Amino acid sequence: MIPPIRLFALLAAIPVVQPILAAPVHAAPAHVAPSAQPTRFSVSVMGSGPDVILIPGLASSANVWNATAARLAKTHRVHVIQVAGFAGAPAGANAEGPVIAPLVAEIDAYIVANRLKAPAIIGHSMGGLIGLMLAAEHGADVGRLMVVDALPFFGMMQGPQASVENIRPQAAAMRDMILKGGQEGYAASEPQVMARLVKSRGTEADAAIKAASASDHRVVAAAMYEDLTIDMRPALPGIRVPVTMVYAWDEGSGVPQAAFDALYRGAYAPLPGAEVQRIDGAYHFIMIDQPDLFGQAVDRFLAG
């Protein structure tokens, strides 16, 4: 069994608590009219060529993709998403109510409104979950998908029998604890949490920590709850776009490599033709800890 500490550290939200997990069904699609002016995220566009959309994870800045975007902009048109309420960005429409399903709908509306032709989607963590939802619900608008260190249901870290029903009370308690602690309490907890998610130290790692601390605790609380209680496993067999999944492993995790391999490869086995790759020597933020290896994986993904 994967230690519970990794599950909650990956969510980058609050200090680790004792978990009991459950299994949810994936959220119903939200319906948003096509608009070139999104309300739940902002976007920076650079380069020219085939379209690539980069989606960061929970409480992350768009800047986590800086190296990847600079690399890809030489040959692609890159759309870098900044989720409203994360990394100091105004919460906007994400301040109340659901976050993830409306984000999925609005990103698809952005694709349609801007006539992006089969864009490649690369999503990290919660961004990977968003990518899976896009592929499942709007597959005709997606060219291919790379999921970076994310499971179709985080409860799988507790074992194959994990269900949404088990996790929902715990997820609600964690959400409520973030809200009760307020912005100050949330921000104070983030450096400790992020230290378990980024192995390397330096400018990019420091920026990721600051971005997490600057995120709006209300948006983080809501998105974290949804991240824990959305189960995309039933949708995997129906996804028809090519999917590559990359995950991190490091001996410092305290978890045998074989356990990680079994977890991630087993999780994506129901997805037809999925390519699952491991990148060693990294924690959760693979693009920061192993930029060269991650860049090579992205190149292979886009070339495929």
Please report which confidence band the pLDDT of residue 6 belongs to, taking 50, 70 and 90 as the band edges.
very low
CB 73 within 8 Å of CB 151: no
Q: Is the pLDDT of residue 3 over 80?
A: no
Instruction: Name the token pair of 222.
Output: 């809501």
Q: What is the phi/psi pair of residue 159, to 5°?
A: 130, 160
Q: Is the pLDDT of residue 26 over 50?
A: no
Q: Give CA–CA dist 55/120, Å, rounded.
A: 11
Instruction: Name the token pair of 70.
Output: 């600079």
Between the alpha carbon of residue 22 and those of residues 15, 16, 86, 267, the distances in Å are: 20, 17, 26, 16
pLDDT at residue number 15 = 31
CB 101 within 8 Å of CB 72: no
What mean pLDDT value characterizes the chain?
Answer: 89
pLDDT at residue number 282 = 96
pLDDT at residue number 33 = 43
Between the alpha carbon of residue 144 and those of residues 131, 140, 243, 244, the distances in Å are: 9, 10, 6, 8
DSSP state of 157: G
Of 11-15, 165-169, 293-297, the one with minimum mean pLDDT is: 11-15
Q: Minimal CA–CA distance to 27: which of 105, 96, 86?
A: 105
Q: Within the chain, where are the H helices?
A: 4-10, 66-72, 100-113, 126-137, 164-194, 203-214, 217-229, 257-268, 286-289, 291-303
What number is the average pLDDT over the span 146-161? Answer: 90
Q: What is the phi/psi pair of residue 9, to 5°?
A: -65, -40
Calculate what percentage of the chain has a pLDDT beyond 90.
Answer: 77
Please report which confidence band the pLDDT of residue 279 belongs to, taking 50, 70 and 90 as the band edges.
very high
pLDDT in tens, 217-238: 999 999 999 999 999 999 999 9
pLDDT in tens, 122-145: 999 999 999 999 999 999 999 999
What number is the average pLDDT over the span 141-152? Answer: 98
Q: Is the pLDDT of residue 269 over 70?
A: yes
* Domain architecture of the chain: domains with CATH: 4-303 (3.40.50.1820)
Q: Which residue has the higher pLDDT, 198 or 26?
A: 198
The CA radius of gyration of the chain, in Å to the nearest whole number, is 17
Per DSSP, what are the bridge partners of residue 81?
43
pLDDT at residue number 4 = 36
Between the alpha carbon of residue 93 and those of residues 31, 44, 70, 151, 202, the distances in Å are: 15, 19, 29, 26, 33
Q: Is the pLDDT of residue 94 over 70?
A: yes
pLDDT in tens, 38-76: 999 999 999 999 999 999 999 999 999 999 999 999 999
Q: How far is CA 194 from the centre of its chain?
A: 15
pLDDT at residue number 36 = 56
Positive or negative, the CA dihedral 304, 137, 161, 226 is positive
